[in-house]
Amino acid sequence: MFTHIFALVVFNKYRVKQLIKYISLSRGRELTEREFLELLDNYTSFLGYSSFSPSKKYYPRLYTNQKFAAFAKRSKDIMIYIFSALAVGVVGSVIVDSLQR
């Protein structure tokens, strides 16, 4: 479980850096200046690491970049795996703890 927490922290930091890179590359092409500044503020704020990828609903042109779309899908799948593994670990620890009493 501790390995997954460490993986979550490291991967999330990498993921946010990559998101900022893709957002910066899309400035003026897929994103307007206002959209770029909104996303940049979102991912560089204090709670930026808790934000997932930009929504397809609000930023559909960003997903026309195939590399970004593939990165967003891959990072979402990895985050789901890590969170699922953490949930299973916590539930397993609770069950084992309750059985030992």
pLDDT tens profile 30-84:
999 999 999 999 888 887 777 788 888 999 999 999 999 999 999 999 999 999 9
Exposure string for 38-50, b = 16+ CB within 10 A, e = fewer: bbbeebeeeebee
The string of DSSP letters for 17-75 reads: HHHHHHHHHTBTTTB-HHHHHHHHHHHHSTTGGG--SPPTTT-GGGGGSHHHHHHHHHH
Q: With contact defined as beta carbons under 8 Å apart, do 98 and 17 qualify? A: no
- pTM value is 0.80
